[in-house]
Amino acid sequence: MAGSSMNMVFDDIQGLARYAHGKLSATSFLLLDVADATAARAWLLSAPVTTAVPVSPLPETALQVAFTAAGLRALDVDDAIIEGFSDEFIVGIAADQSRSRRLGDTEGSAPGNWAWGGQAGDVPHLLLMLYAIPGKLDHWQTTVQGTDFEQAFRLRQELPTHSLGAIEPFGFVDGISQPDIDWEHKQTTNLHERDRYANLLVPGEVLLGYPNEYGRYTERPLIDPVDDPRASILPAAEDDPGVRDFGRNGSYLVLRQLHQEVPKFWQFVDREAGSDALERDRLASLMVGRQRDGTPLIPSSGDPVSNRFTFEHDPDGHQCPVGAHIRRSNPRNGDFPPGVTGLVSRLIRILGFGRNHPREDLVASTRFHRILRRGRTYGSLLTPEDAVKPGAPEEDRGLQFICLVANISRQFEFVQNAWSMNTKFAGVHDESDPLLGDRKPLVDGSATDGFAIPREEGPVHCLHGLPRFVTVRGGAYFFMPGIQALHYIAGQESVQRGAEA
């Protein structure tokens, strides 16, 4: 196959796994249901889905497609294949109360209040993502949809998207820190521990069918070609060449529509800052962990994207509060605390001795919990200066949060639950993520609406009574297949018919 690097086959991978399509700032995200399975498969078979093969000059349009478990069923994919996916994908993001509680999807964010995806009948079958340079989207949409589209699909909803340039609605530059996917296989997965934080991540943390950071293959549907000769169009499983890999080069895609109350955010911070604009900016940047222009609060070593830093030399959070959004969502630690290198000190650490600092060892190693973010914003721009004015319009603004992972529970759900929503994180308590927290008091009545700002020069400065700034409006777990798996899904009936003829 063309476009391979070592054993990566970029023409079998959807482009979104490798590129954020940042230049293609006009988007249309369509939630669709299958209206006619035969017509839908025929459309999918010829859909111009964008692959991860680099193109020069950069393309002016892109198309990606992903399916829920309900969508795969509607396209007549065998139950045996669907059962090969992880439970959380099959069950879905909203069907189980305990999952909703763990994700912080309660009260205003409870699935029952979602605009889409919250109830069994509300789960869309597929997500079609169209991207284009400004001015080209309508034409691209007409080209992509062609003539049979309306017969094949029912439009459930077009999700709002609107580019604010590089910033998200609260006004901070977003999309800076991403794991660096090791497409060239520079790093071995045989290493079972890594002392230091590294940003390089094996492809198996984003794509199915490759070794993950544990050196293992994540569970996925595998098909014996003896049972299903059509499966021979799929790649062989790397770890079991006798069977075909339906998951290979595919990725789970988590989509959550997150409504952001921009005036509420800035008016709260403004009150805490005594209406001092500089102090307001400072407090808000401590909540995020970066300044509005993206500059990290920890000095970063001359890297153009300001991402080469860890929190190793700021254990108490004097520079970047331990509970800041970026520190909770990526604590940037290695498998062992700094200084633990030799076999003996590792053993001491594994047995739970030799801790120098109460926070050490409490936070899991980051490399097993990375996510590749691909979200887009919606709603109009409201600057902090305008947002603090009385009566500032509380319009519909937010983030279509999207991330790609190979394991939804170990990556997205872990970050959301164990790090963002957790009211006990790395020694901080009575607070959860300052941007995302649901602020619900715990069962024992203790508050979760604080935010601690440790200071070198004095006692910790605590903000209290943070309101909820972000509410979930919809969401679903999708699978974004590799191109061959897409063709398998799309081509099955025609092959079946051929076999019958």
Which residues of this protein are in contact with ligand HEM, per CB under 6 A? 168, 170, 172, 174-177, 258, 260, 288, 290, 325-326, 329-330, 371, 398-399, 401, 415-416, 420, 435-436, 470
Question: Which of 70, 470 has the CB closer to ligand HEM?
Answer: 470
Q: How far is the CB of 236 from ligand HEM (least distance, A)?
A: 33
The token duo for 54 is: 């680099």
Pairwise CA distance, residues 466 & 286, whole Å? 14
Question: Which of 43, 378 has the CB closer to ligand HEM?
Answer: 378
Question: Which of 133, 167 has the CB closer to ligand HEM?
Answer: 167
Q: Which of 451, 444, 414 is closest to 429 using CA atoms?
A: 451
166, β-bridge pairs: 164
Q: How far is the CB of 174 from ligand HEM (least distance, A)?
A: 4
Unique residue bearing structure tokens 């476009």: 3
Q: How far is the CB of 401 from ligand HEM (least distance, A)?
A: 5
Q: How far is the CB of 491 from ligand HEM (least distance, A)?
A: 35
Question: Which of 64, 260 has the CB closer to ligand HEM?
Answer: 260
Pure H helices in 410-482: 414
Q: How far is the CB of 313 from ligand HEM (least distance, A)?
A: 16
Question: Which of 416, 492 has the CB closer to ligand HEM?
Answer: 416
Question: Which of 72, 206 has the CB closer to ligand HEM?
Answer: 206
Question: Which of 349, 473 has the CB closer to ligand HEM?
Answer: 473
Q: How far is the CB of 444 from ligand HEM (least distance, A)?
A: 26
The continuous run of DSSP H or E covering 117 comes out as: none
| Torsional sign, CA 29, 33, 36, 42 | positive
Q: How far is the CB of 379 from ligand HEM (least distance, A)?
A: 11
The continuous run of DSSP H or E covering 282 comes out as: helix 277-288
Question: Which of 49, 415 has the CB closer to ligand HEM?
Answer: 415
Q: 301: helix, coil or strand?
A: coil
Q: Which of 214, 261, 260 is closest to 239 using CA atoms?
A: 214
Q: How far is the CB of 418 from ligand HEM (least distance, A)?
A: 11
400, β-bridge pairs: 257, 376
End-to-end CA distance of the chain: 31
C-beta of residue 366 within 8 angstroms of C-beta of residue 205: no
Q: How far is the CB of 179 from ligand HEM (least distance, A)?
A: 8
200-201 and 180-181 as β-strands: parallel, antiparallel, unpaired?
Answer: parallel
Question: Which of 182, 228 has the CB closer to ligand HEM?
Answer: 182
Q: How far is the CB of 192 from ligand HEM (least distance, A)?
A: 23
The token duo for 474 is: 């919809």
Question: Which of 63, 253 has the CB closer to ligand HEM?
Answer: 253
Question: Which of 244, 376 has the CB closer to ligand HEM?
Answer: 376
Question: Which of 65, 371 has the CB closer to ligand HEM?
Answer: 371
61, β-bridge pairs: 132
**What are the angstrom distances between the C-alpha of 215 and each of 9, 193, 201, 209, 335?**
20, 11, 12, 12, 15
Side-chain-facing half-sphere of 327: CA atoms under 13 Å:
30
C-beta of residue 475 within 8 angstroms of C-beta of residue 255: yes
C-beta of residue 422 within 8 angstroms of C-beta of residue 416: no
320's CB contacts (< 8 A; 6+ apart) are 286, 289, 296, 297, 298, 311, 314, 326, 327
Q: How far is the CB of 371 from ligand HEM (least distance, A)?
A: 6
Question: Which of 169, 221 has the CB closer to ligand HEM?
Answer: 169
252, β-bridge pairs: 405, 479
Pairwise CA distance, residues 77 & 354, whole Å? 53
Describe the crossing of helices 262-272 and 277-288 by its angle, rounded to 10 degrees: 120
**What DSSP line would sit under 393-429, residue for residue?**
---S-EEEEEEEES-TIIIIIHIIIIIII-SEETTEE
Indicate the DSSP class of residue 3.
T
Q: % helix / strand / coil in the chain, to the nearest 5?
A: 30, 20, 50
Q: How far is the CB of 348 from ligand HEM (least distance, A)?
A: 30
